[in-house]
Amino acid sequence: QVQLVESGGGLVQAGDSLRLFCAASGRTFSNYAMGWFRQAPWKGREFVGAIVFSGITTYNSDSVKGRFTISRNNAKNTVYLQMNNLKPEDTAIYYCAARWGISSRSKDEYTYWGQGTQVTVSS
């Protein structure tokens, strides 16, 4: 089992920055690829980006290109999502997720999920 707890969400204005945290506990964190997803009201859960143990990242370029950065600290069992130049369309619940091994863009490939943290961006 891997337990994930997100934090750092909040209400910000367009153009602001926010940093989300995902703290993991349980099995060996370094074995897991970590993904960030988001879900806006009345929409499906959307892939934001992912990072593997080595730090290699992939992103949903269409929606977050150049604005969001994912990083991880394996010693602290924590993954970060740095979000810059936030837009109202970034408003969503943000979830982190874990899957053993390589990363994936598909939410169905992730085994463990956090409870989510709300990000609201006002115009």
**Does the pLDDT value for residue 8 go beyond 80?**
yes
Provide the 10 A C-beta neighbour count for residue 104. 16
Q: What is the overall mean pLDDT for the chain?
A: 95
Closest by CA position to 81, among listed 67, 99, 91: 67
Please state the rounded mean pLDDT for residues 1-11. Answer: 95
Query: What's residue 62's pLDDT?
Result: 84
Does 27 have pLDDT greater than 80?
A: no
Query: What pLDDT was estimated at residue 29?
Result: 85
Q: What is the mean pLDDT of residues 23-41?
A: 92
Query: Residue 72 has which token pair?
Result: 């991880």
Tell me how far CA of residue 35 lies from CA of 25, 46, 71, 83, 103, in angstroms: 15, 11, 11, 15, 7
Tokens of 12: 């910000």
